[in-house]
Amino acid sequence: MSVNPRVLLVGAGAVGQVFGKYLQAAGCELSFLVKEKYAEEARRGYTLYELGLLDKDYEPVTFSGFGVLVSMREIAAQRWDQVWLCVSSTALRAGGWVGELARATGDATWVMLQPALDDREWLLQWVPAERLVSGMIPFISFHAPLKPGEPVPRPGTAFLIPPLTRGPFSGPPERLDQVVRTLRAGGYPASRTGDVARGAALPTAVLTAFVEGLEAAGWSFERFLQRDSLERTIRAAREAVQIAAWRTHASASALLPLLRPALFKLLLPLAARVTPFDLETYLRVHFTKVGEQSRLMMRTYVDLGRSAGLPVDGLQALTPGDGTSSPESARSRAERPG
């Protein structure tokens, strides 16, 4: 890899912008692959807001000085050291662009951030394991303002990396070391771990069930914390955890006893108090935007659970049963990188 790595980020949304900021700070020659309709906005640069806990002040930082590409022809004309996949699991699978991109980027290291249990296996169709690094997103990022009246100087992307956070990555040692060293050089708290997919599987299972339960409660914390809603969510979460543990050979023995109403009643109000933004609004806005990904993950848990002979009734109770999706979800499913 060159002294100044040439990095292509697929998708310039809230996640891509945050990783791009740190990669650029490390000296990377950065480019984004976006849809044509977003290219002009990207070329103007972005506004970022780095938040701290209990920090209500939004201080803008301009993020610019990167390339903007819209076609495989442009990508194939250049050499790349790293390719970062900063799109949802559903966008990853939409169309045939992943295979095209793999052919256009040669021997580059690919970094995947998608959370679904089978995303890595799916991606291995085009990218060999010896070039694939897996990562987990430990920060919160969103378009600001979240709602009218918030004290944001101008629209941009706000993000929060909680104190003591570590961003785990795993993969083939040489490729992994290059990714971690680069991020650390830019000030990002990257860390090496044995298996990101395994380490993230159980917390992701709980989060996915929580999001579906919250959506079923109309994105209202008050309604979500009512007894019936909590019991449905916890039942689904326990099933998802057991399925994720079976799939990844992780142990769920320490987590399952914690999945009780008292834990949610304690942690959710506490999280709402310490975050420097309206957490209820954030969850509604963000997980509505990636709703098709959440439903894909729920369907994956159900399919895997059935194949393993594990209970799935609780998951099915939180999963739309008619297979339909909203117009917003249909548009999301059709999205390509950007």
In tens, the pLDDT along 261-285 reads 999 999 999 999 999 999 999 999 9
**Which residue from 107, 27, 17 is spatially nearest to 64, judged by alpha carbons?**
17
Q: Give CA–CA dist 173/142, Å, rounded.
A: 32
Q: Write the DSSP symbol of residue 144.
A: E
For residues 110, 244, 196, 32, the Cα torsion angle rounded to the nearest 10 degrees is: 40
Taking 50 as the threshold, does the pLDDT of residue 305 lie above it? yes
Query: Are residues 36 and 60 in contact, defined by beta-carbon separation less than 8 angstroms?
Result: no
- 59 touches 220 (CB < 8 A): no
**The CATH number of domain 6-193 is 3.30.470.20:** no
Residue with tokens 């659970």: 305
- What are the structural domain ranges in the chain? 6-193, 198-334
| Percentage of residues in the chain having pLDDT higher than 90 | 89
pLDDT over threshold 60, residue 100: yes
Q: Are 76 and 170 in contact (CB under 8 A)?
A: no
Beta pairing, strands 29-33 & 6-10: parallel
pLDDT at 201 over 50: yes
Q: How far apart are CA 314 and CA 240, in angstroms?
A: 9
CA pair distance 252, 275, nearest whole angstrom: 28
Is residue 1 scored above 60 in pLDDT?
no
Maximum distance among all Cα pairs of the chain, rounded to whole angstroms: 58
pLDDT of residue 256 exceeding 60: yes
Tens-place pLDDT, residues 146-185:
998 888 999 999 999 999 999 999 999 999 999 999 999 9
Per-residue pLDDT tens for 32-80?
A: 999 999 999 999 999 999 999 877 778 999 999 999 999 999 999 999 9
Output the six-digit token pair for 6.
Answer: 């040439």
DSSP state of 108: P
